[in-house]
Structure 1
Amino acid sequence: MGIVKISEDLHDEIRKASGVMSRSINSQAEFWIKIGMQAEMNPQCSFNELVATMLAKANISADNLSVEESER
């Protein structure tokens, strides 16, 4: 594990997002890094497609995670 230096402004944005997404600050930063890497390697894909691909690679079905229309 290493240390990555980021600006105070970015750290503040990560902290805010981590609270909304119920993730630790480190987990939020790691998620954004992973999504960013996937977006650079697959510019034709939407955010939802990238997440679905990452879930599939982890053997997690996106269908099982979606909220039923009746619950919305």
Structure 2
Amino acid sequence: MGIVKISDQLHDQIRVSSAALGRSINAQAEHWLRVGQLAEHHPQLNYEGICALLLQQAERELQPASAHEPDTVVRRPRPVRLVGGMQ
């Protein structure tokens, strides 16, 4: 995690928006950064389209790894036998 310096005016705008939308100041800033990044990468999309992309991304992140990585093998931890009388 790094520190990004922004103007006091922008910080105040983030603070107001974060309070209105129930996000932390950092979460609001991160949301605006993601929206801006997607707007630059997909100039044909409006805000609704950008939000749809964010929702798709969140859904993929919340799915179990096996849902989008079919070759993934999930291994369960094996019991370990302790040596020397330690239990």
Q: Same fold (TM over 0.5)?
A: yes
1:26 positional shift: 0.4
Q: Which residue of 2 aligns with 1:33?
A: 33
Amino acid at match of 2:24: S
- Please, which runs of 5 or more residues in structure 2 have no aligned partner? 61-87
Larger radius of gyration: 2
Q: What residue identity is the alignment partner of 1:30?
A: E
Map 1:57-68 onto structure 2 (within 5 A): 57-59=57-59
Percentage identity across aligned positions?
A: 48
- Following the alignment from structure 1 to structure 2, what is the Cα–Cα distance between the partners of residues 57 and 11? 27
Higher percent of residues as helix: 1
Which structure ranks higher in relative contact order (CA pairs < 8 Å, sequence separation ≥ 6)?
A: 1
RMSD: 1.1
Return the offset for 1:33.
0.2
Task: Measure how far apart 1:44 and its partner are.
Answer: 0.5
User: How high is the TM-score relative to the length of structure 2?
Assistant: 0.66
The one-letter amino acid of 2:52's match is A
The aligned counterpart of 1:50 is 50
| Count of aligned residue pairs for this structure pair | 60
Deviation at 1:59, TM superposition (A): 1.6
Cα deviation 1:27-71 (Å, max 9, x = unaligned)? 0000000000000000110101111111112227xxxxxxxxxxx
Partner of 2:19: 19
Length-normalised TM-score, structure 1: 0.79
* CA–CA separation in structure 1 for the residues paired with 2:15 and 2:58: 26
What amino acid sits opposite 1:50 in the alignment?
Answer: I
